[in-house]
A and B are shown apart, each in its own frame.
Chain A
């Protein structure tokens, strides 16, 4: 069990550019979550996958955001035409198939949009 990994750990980009983040969950976990955490706030839910199916999306996930989990393993989160308001920590979590299972978090990707 190597834990949840996220890449890159830090990303600095200019407004208007596209960025993509990757999350590798714990291998046997079929559920994967993306959260966003702005400075001084708690994480907020963005979207959720069960295997390769994206089952729920938050209203926070505007049409500039897209997430995929093509083979039910790793996931990517892409932000198109980044805005300064997108600056945040993007956290990925995974868990097993039982509702009482713990969500394990990765270290996050910190995005700074200049």
Chain B
């Protein structure tokens, strides 16, 4: 089984400041890793995913994440946030060789960007 822990439930940040959202996972098998964003009253939108290769992954809207296998982490960063980045962010994993490929999500981190 897999589990995902997002260490911060809420992160307040000022506009144009950097932000880092922490994600750690536990799995007995290799996994693919994902970050999704959920804006109010909307479904989830994929920000980025790590499948293999370079451990630094760039996504949409200026976000990037770094996979660290030894620390089983996949932290999300953005160097300068905008008001429009106010949303909830979810880290998720899928076992590489599982037939169903169902996502296991963390509890989410709510980002509030202040002017």
Residue numbers of A with Cβ under 8 A of B are 4, 6, 31, 33, 35, 40-45, 48, 55-56, 91, 93, 95, 99-100, 102-108
Contacts and interface: CB of A to CB of B under 8 A. Distances in A.
B49 A102 contact: yes
* Most-contacted residue by chain A among B32, B90, B102, B104 (CB, 10 A): B102
A105 B45 contact: yes
B108 to A, nearest CB: 5
Contacts, number: 59
A102 B46 contact: yes
22 contacts: A4-B43, A6-B43, A40-B9, A40-B108, A41-B107, A42-B4, A42-B6, A42-B105, A43-B90, A43-B103, A45-B102, A48-B100, A48-B102, A55-B99, A56-B100, A93-B103, A99-B96, A99-B101, A103-B103, A104-B46, A105-B44, A105-B45
A103 B94 CA distance: 11
B54 interface: no
A100 B103 contact: no
Contact-residue size bin, chain B (C-beta under 8 Å from the other chain): 20 to 34
* Most-contacted residue by chain A among B4, B41, B96 (CB, 10 A): B41
A82 B106 CA distance: 27
Contacts of B92: 42
Interface in B18-67: 32, 36, 41-46, 49, 51
Given A91-B43, A102-B46, A56 B102 contact: yes
A108 B103 contact: no
* Most-contacted residue by chain A among B92, B94, B103 (CB, 10 A): B103
Nearest to A55: B100
Interface in B67-115: 90, 92, 94, 96, 99-108
